[in-house]
Amino acid sequence: MTDTTKSEGIKKFQRYALWLLVYTLLVIVWGAWVRISQSGDGCGDHWPLCNGQFIPGTNTFIPAKKTWVEYTHRLMSGAFGLIVFWIFWRARKLFQQNHPARRAATASLIFMITEALLGAKLVLFGLVMKNDSPLRTFAMSLHMINSLMLVGSITLLWSLAFENPGHWRETLDGIKFQKSWAKRRIIGVTIIFAFLATSGAIAALASTLFPSESLLDGLNQDLSSSSHYLIRLRILHPILGILVGSGLGGLAWFYSEGLKASTELSLAAKRLSQVCFVAVPFGIITLLSLAPEWMKLTHLLLAHSLWISLVLVMKNVLWQQSTGFSSK
328 residues of the chain, pLDDT tens digit each? 566 676 788 889 999 999 999 999 999 999 999 988 888 777 777 777 777 777 776 555 555 788 888 888 899 999 999 999 999 999 999 888 878 889 999 999 999 999 999 988 888 788 888 889 999 999 999 999 999 999 999 999 999 887 454 444 433 444 444 455 667 788 889 999 999 999 999 999 998 889 888 888 888 888 888 899 999 999 999 999 999 999 999 988 887 777 654 577 888 899 999 999 999 999 999 999 988 899 999 999 999 999 999 999 988 877 665 434 344 3
Residue 141 located in a structural domain: yes
Q: What's the pLDDT score for residue 165? A: 46
Instruction: Identify whether residues 135 and 195 lie together within a single domain.
Output: no
Domain end (from 164, 187, 212): 164
Residue 147 located in a structural domain: yes
**Of 301, 302, 293, 285, nearest in space to 211 by CA:** 293
Q: What's the pLDDT score for residue 25? A: 96
Give the predicted TM-score (pTM) of the model: 0.88
Instruction: Identify whether residues 41 and 78 lie together within a single domain.
Output: yes
Return the active site residues: 70
Instruction: Identify whether residues 149 and 227 lie together within a single domain.
Output: no
Helix spans in the chain (H):
3-36, 64-94, 100-124, 134-160, 180-209, 215-223, 229-233, 236-258, 263-288, 293-321
Residue 64 located in a structural domain: yes
Q: What's the pLDDT score for residue 267? A: 87
Domain that holds residue 263: 176-328
Q: What's the pLDDT score for residue 286? A: 92
Q: Residue 98 phi/psi, 5° resolution?
A: -100, 15
Instruction: Identify whether residues 222 and 148 lie together within a single domain.
Output: no
Distance from C-alpha of 127 to C-alpha of 202, rounded to nearest angstrom: 14
Residue 171 located in a structural domain: no
